[in-house]
A and B are shown apart, each in its own frame.
Chain A
Amino acid sequence: MAVRDRELDLLGLDVLERHEEPGRRRLTRVAAVLWPKLAAVALALGIWQLVAISGWRPSYVLPGPGPVLGRLLTDLGNGSLVEATAITLRRAVVGYALALVVGLLVGLAVARVKPLRLAVASGITGLQTMPSIAWFPLAILLFALGEGAILFVIVLGAAPSIANGVISGMDHVPSLLRDAGRAMGARGLAAYRHVLLPAALPSFVAGLKQGWAFAWRSLMAGELLVVIASSPSLGVRLQFAREFSDAEGLLAAMLVILVVGIVVDAFGFGLVERAILRNRGLGDST
């Protein structure tokens, strides 16, 4: 006890400033986060159901959530929707990986080389505002109707966001941390590895997250325009469902597209982002 008191004494007055996190039970915390989300889903389904039974559109055009969810289970059960999702996801992964490499390299080069920054930094932001669908006519001319055209547009859609994340991350590394790194001998590659990149990480992950949203949208636009009949992707299913007036199948595929986008965003990037911020004492406590 006396030893402990001595230790506290040595820590000085400002030990009082330290605030300990109140230990909340994990289960209650998860429940507290979960119920508003479930309530929102229930509300959305409820509104959908109301619109469906209002008779605004006949049920073969706008079926209610019940039949669509039933169809979703059927299509998942017979494997056709799973196959389509796999094809689409594979494209997403390949396209996103390419965009990641391009965005990272361009971002680092622009952050590092001043003339390059003056030349292209505003151009990168300009590219972001360009609707990805506007690239497709050119992409189809360049790559014909094939995977190449889709990947090309995914990269153009996602890479600018990723590059911008890198650039703004590097720009906002506090000069105090740069100096602290230099003063302890971090130069060249070591400075990047141990100081600059970790400091830029939150902004980089924000760029990755935004890049994913752009990639997913570009991919969907691509699959609707560049229909490759041999690869029955989610986009192809949408097109075929529309052509055959199969509203249930169409909405079931749309649900999958929505859920994949949300899941990757929330559980992929969201969790990583929150963990990073929490580690640095920047995140909220929820």
Chain B
Amino acid sequence: MTVVEDRPAVRAGTRAVTLDGVVKRFGTGPAGVLALDGVSLEVEPGSFTCLVGASGCGKTTLLRMIAGLEQPTAGTVEAGGRTALLFQEAALFPWLTAARNVELPMRLARVPRADRRRRSAELLDLVHLGGFAARRPHELSGGMRQRVALARALAQDADVLLMDEPFGALDAITRDLLHEELERLWQATGLTIVFVTHNVREAVKLGDRVVLLSSRPGRVAATFDVGVPRPRRMEDHDVASLSAEVTARLREEVRRHGRT
């Protein structure tokens, strides 16, 4: 964790992610789909925000807009500082070793080679993959690939880490371990995290705040502050009861939109 010590807990002057009346429509005319309709959201620096909602509620679209991969049809999306995006799949470059994958964002940022090498080794250690630097993505398991992707996202030295169901495809034990690591990293670095998931318990376990999105079109249906002290466990009573509350609200949203 020596990697992150030189970093202030919250960067001075970092603004939160700000979404203001964001509308996103795919296609035009009657065949067009209104994915998001007037989403406004503010994310505090250094906070951990979880976005939950049924599939098709535009969670991923929202994240892609914050990352600059998509433009809103109307409204404004403002990300204070740099963003890094972690996909559901690791999206590693198959022609690069784990270490070179982690180095790539630094290469793009013209970090000198020696610094790159050192930093990527540190980041791989941080995600407990120090011994796997020379492996190629296909030689790693799903969880290990996702860790490399996490190290690569951290290598971008971003202020806001956007995570799109990053642990959705992993088994429960691997996922729990990665949850712990993520919380530890978040507390150590003062990163702002926006985490998208359809798993309500995961959201409640990780987030300071859980934002519930309605489906088609996506709107902010409710916001829950998670007051449960950390470290939290999936099985904790408080986590379970808040999860039940959020789930009940999510069901209501799903029913209201005539979807099952």
Q: Which residues of A contact B (CB under 8 A)?
A: 7, 10-18, 176-177, 179-180, 182-186, 190, 194-195, 198-199, 201, 276, 279-282
Contact = CB atoms under 8 A, between A and B. Distances in A.
Contact of B143 (A11, A199, A276): A11
Contacts of A16: 141
Interface string B215-233: 0000000000000000000
Contacts of A281: 94, 136-139
Contact of A18 (B68, B136, B141): B141
A183 B142 contact: no
Interface string B78-93: 0000011101010101
B93 A177 contact: yes
A183 B155 CA distance: 12
Given A176-B91, A179-B91, A18 B139 contact: yes
Interface string B127-145: 0100100001111111110
Nearest to B91: A180
Given A179-B87, A198-B95, A280 B108 contact: no
Interface of B: 64, 67-69, 83-85, 87, 89, 91, 93-96, 104-105, 107-109, 128, 131, 136-144, 152, 156, 170-171, 173-174, 177-178
A184 B108 contact: yes
Contacts of B152: 184
Contacts, number: 97
Contacts of B143: 11-15
A14 B93 contact: no
Nearest to B177: A12
B142 to A, nearest CB: 5
Given A14-B174, A180-B91, A185 B144 contact: no
29 contacts: A11-B128, A11-B141, A11-B144, A12-B171, A12-B177, A13-B173, A13-B174, A14-B142, A15-B144, A17-B141, A17-B142, A18-B140, A18-B144, A179-B69, A180-B91, A182-B68, A183-B69, A183-B83, A184-B84, A184-B152, A184-B156, A185-B108, A186-B104, A186-B108, A194-B107, A276-B95, A281-B136, A281-B138, A282-B138
A185 B95 contact: no
Contacts of A15: 141, 143-144
Nearest to A276: B95
A4 to B, nearest CB: 10
B85 A183 contact: yes
Nearest to A184: B105
A12 B173 CA distance: 6
B137 to A, nearest CB: 7
A13 B171 contact: yes
B157 to A, nearest CB: 11
B170 A14 contact: yes
Contacts of B173: 12-13
Contacts of A180: 85, 87, 91, 93
A183 B96 CA distance: 17
A235 B173 CA distance: 68
Nearest to A10: B128
A194 B104 contact: yes
A15 B132 CA distance: 12
Given A11-B144, A184-B84, A280 B95 contact: yes
